[in-house]
Each structure stands twice: as structure tokens, then as C-alpha cells.
Amino acid sequence: MVTPDPAAPLTPAAQRVLDAASELFYERGIHAVGVDGIAEAAGVTKKTLYDRFGSKEALVVAYLRARDARWRAHLLATLDRVPSPGTARVLAVFDAAESWSTANSPRGCSAINARAESFPGDGDAVLAEVAAQKAWQVGLLADLCREAGVREPEDTARALMLLYEGAIVTVGMGTFDRPFARARSVAAAVLGLDDPSPTA
Amino acid sequence: MVTPDPAAPLTPAAQRVLDAASELFYERGIHAVGVDGIAEAAGVTKKTLYDRFGSKEALVVAYLRARDARWRAHLLATLDRVPSPGTARVLAVFDAAESWSTANSPRGCSAINARAESFPGDGDAVLAEVAAQKAWQVGLLADLCREAGVREPEDTARALMLLYEGAIVTVGMGTFDRPFARARSVAAAVLGLDDPSPTA
DNA sequence: TCGTCAGTAGACCGACCGGTATATCGTCGC
DNA sequence: GCGACGATATACCGGTCGGTCTACTGACGA
């Protein structure tokens, strides 16, 4: 009870807490949001919040996991619509990222943002979670490169990861418009394609 | 006195405050650091801190400006060593970024990190400062591209900016090693060069 | 010599922080 | 009928937050 099972299905109140926390953490940052505010936004008492999640840090990790799960579902659904062997599936990652960021991520990547306000000794669980998410992402790119028969898939995946990370940060910073479209065309060049420019 | 002149030279105590704040803000994030801790680390009372900077937010802006000024000085010094017309000067930005990040930036870009914990309505001055820094950076890349006779310098600068931002974020996240070396070789390809690979 | 200014020392403010406590209630399943 | 459970309400904890205040010291310049 001090550390509730993170794999257990969420009670209705716990779900409301997680939803409220997700929105507040993403919009304002983690340190700027207090547990009192989360509880109030969820229409729940602090007692319930602590009964369900155990600590603020555990709630932060739950937020990061839930958000990443949504992104992966969106990404995998996009990939499912692209026939299996080929570089088009690699580029589809950038299409998925663009539609995702337009709809859900005006402030960039929750993992990157969370990492920006965590440091070793305070927030170790958060650091571990964001590292795992980024490792998964670069691993997926490598898998897609291998599947497409790209030479040096690991190296290429890292190059693509730079473009992906740069684009999502640029979304958050607002440095210029439609960074994922641009990232996609550079990615196509990296893969040795003539820019197929599938996005408008 | 309520709002000290930001252009005035810093008194010795103010400099110590800024130095202490810079280290703490960068290492732990802005919200996680209190003014009491900064004053203590600087060997200064809170009174002095507020006399010199007026508010925590103003101190944050001063921190971002000072750090960016150091980066620009490092970058411009690096560029001074590369003969004037040519794509080598564009790529030198990545060399400068790699040496800078190795020495000063294990946690990535202070502007990106600051942006991650700011939101409109609280931290507007911070948001304005980080936007200005990123605009300057992409503008410099465009200038270097123009100078080198690159076609479509604005578009190319944005592609390079994606690589630059992706690399500095990857430094902070620790996703893989030496992201700037990889970014540089992709940048060379973007510029239409055979990878000259000037970094070891 | 008299201000002015940088600085120290330290008390104080209300608000908020993450987290815990006790006690009560309704709805289930056994 | 009774306990387990989800949830409520409310009060409380020590500590920290950003920020202000009065009072004093020391140095430099007109």
C-alpha cells in the first residue's frame, strides 16, 4: 500500500488523477505543479492520490509511461498502414511524429522536458524512464533500417534520431514551422532517396 | 533599484551570485533551485541578491544571457580560425558545439531546459530570451550558408538547425555517444559534400 | 566630512511544498 | 452481516518558497 502496484488497472479516481496530472505536468512542467493542484483538478483528495500512487515521483513516472504508451500506439498504428519491407516505413516515423505533435505536443517531448528538471539523486526513477524511452525509440529506428536493408542500420538510426529529436525540440521552441516535414526530407536524403516529399 | 539596470557592470557580489546561480540552475534546473540556496552558495545575503537582480526571474534571464554570451564567444572564436568563404565554416559550428558541450554542457542546452519549465503567464521573460537565442542561432547558420554560396540558405540552415538541436538534446539525454560528430557528418551530406570527417 | 553605495546580518511575511493522520461513508462480494 | 475497498473530508506536519524589511558597516568620492 505504500507502493501501489504500477501494473494494476487504475480505479476511476486514479485515472482522473493521472489525466489531470498529465495535462498539468505537460503544460507547466513538473516542479511547477503541486500535488494539491493535481488533486483539486481531478476532483479528488490528496489522500486518494497518495493511496493510489504513493508519491509524486511515482505519479510523474506514471505520467511519462502513459504518454509514451499513447505515442507508441500512434506510431505503431501508422506503421501498420505502410507495407512491410522498405524505407517508406522509416520515413513514416516522421509522418507519425508530425501528426502526433500537431495534435498532442505543442510543447515538445515530455521525456526531454522531464529530463530538463531532473537530476541524479532526485528523480532517479524519472531519469531511468526517459532513458528507456529514448533507447526504445532509437532501437525502433534501427529495426526499421535493418528491415529496409539500409547499410549500417545502427549508424543510420542515430542520424535519424538526431533529426527526430531536433524536430520535436523545434516544435517546443517554436524556432520555425513544420520541423518534422523538414526532418523527413533530410531523412530521405540520409537514406539515399530522392526527396519523395509525401507530406504536403 | 526595484529593477536594476541589466546592462550595468556587475558588482563583485553580483558576479558571485550569477556564477552560483548559473551552476545551480544548469545542474539542477530552475524550479528546483531556491534563492536562499543561491545566496548561500554565493556567500551573499538574499538582500544583496534582490538589490542586484530584482527578482528570481530576472536572475534566470541574466543566467541564460551570460551562458549564451559564453557560447557565442566560443563559437565566434572557432569560426575565426576557419578561412572565410566556404562550407567548412558551416561545419565548424558543429566542431565548436562538440568542444563546447564536452567542456560545459553535459546536461544539454540551457535554453531548451529553461523552456521546458516555463509557460506563458509565468516566465514570459524567459520564453522571450530563449526564443531570441534560437533565432540568433538559426540566423547565423543561414548567414554562413549564404556566405558559402549554398543554394536555398534558409532551408538548409533549418535542416542544419535540426541536426544541431538534436545533437545537443542527445548530449543531455545520453542516448548515444558523440552526437555532434554524427551530426556534423550528416550536415556535410546535407551540404552536398563527401563526408570530410575532420573530427577524429 | 558628509553622502552615497555595496554589502552583511538576520528577522519576518504569507503562501505553498510533499506527505501523513484520523475518521466517515457507500458499495460491493462473501 | 461483515469486512475489504475506493473514496471522501479535513486537519495537520515540518520545511521551503519568493520576497521584504530594518539596522548596521565599510569604503570611496566630492
Q: Do B76 and B144 contact (CB within 8 A), yes or no?
A: no
Q: How far apart are the first and last CA of chain A?
A: 52
Res A13: pLDDT: 87
Compare A200 and A76 and report the one with higher pLDDT: A76
Q: How far is CA A154 from the centre of its chain?
A: 21
Q: Is B181 helix (H, G, I), strand (E, B) or coil?
A: helix
Res A12: pLDDT: 83
Which residue type, as a one-letter code, is found at position B160?
L
A162 touches chain B (CB under 8 A): yes
Chain B residues with CB-CB distance to A172 below 8 A:
112, 115-116
What is the number of CB-based contacts under 8 A between chain A and chain B? 147
Chain A residues with CB-CB distance to B32 below 8 A:
31, 117, 119, 122
Q: Do A173 and B112 lie within an 8 Å CB cutoff?
A: yes
Q: In sequence order, what DSSP letters do the residues of A50-116 get, joined into one string?
A: HHHHSSHHHHHHHHHHHHHHHHHHHHHHHHHTS-SSSHHHHHHHHHHHHHHHHHH-TT--HHHHHHH
Which residue type, as a one-letter code, is found at position A10?
L
A29 vs B28, B107, B117: nearest CB: B117
- Reported as a single tens digit per residue, the pLDDT across A128-157 is 999 999 999 999 999 999 999 999 999 999
Per-run averaged pLDDT (10 residues), chain B, 200 residues: 60 91 96 94 93 94 97 98 93 98 95 96 94 98 97 97 98 97 97 60
Residue B55, CB, strand D, below 7 Å = yes
Instruction: Quote the minimal CA–CA distance from A32 to chain B in Å.
Output: 7
Residue B11, CA: closest nucleotide via C1'? C6
- Reported as a single tens digit per residue, the pLDDT across B72-99 is 999 999 999 999 889 999 999 999 999 9
Torsional class of A109: left (φ above 0), alpha (ψ -120 to 50), beta (otherwise): beta
Chain B residues with CB-CB distance to A186 below 8 A:
159, 162-163, 186, 190
A136 touches chain B (CB under 8 A): no
CA nearest B107 in A: which residue? A116
- Reported as a single tens digit per residue, the pLDDT across A168-182 is 999 999 999 999 999
Phi/psi at B67 (5° precision): -65, -40
Long-range contacts of A46-53, Cβ-Cβ distance < 8 Å, separation of 24 or more? A48/A13, A48/A14, A48/A17, A49/A17, A51/A1, A51/A4, A52/A4, A52/A10, A52/A11, A52/A13, A52/A14, A52/A17, A53/A4, A53/A14, A53/A17
Cell, residue B15: 558576479
Q: What is the DSSP letter of B121?
A: T
Distance CA A160, CA B146 (A): 26
CA nearest A181 in B: which residue? B159
Q: In sequence order, what DSSP letters do the residues of A82-98 get, joined into one string?
A: S-SSSHHHHHHHHHHHH
A165 touches chain B (CB under 8 A): yes
pLDDT over 90 at A95, yes or no:
yes
Distance CA B153, CA B145 (A): 5
A106 touches chain B (CB under 8 A): no
Q: Which domains does chain B have, with CATH numbers?
A: 11-54 (1.10.10.60), 56-190 (1.10.357.10)
Residue A197, CB, strand D, below 7 Å = no
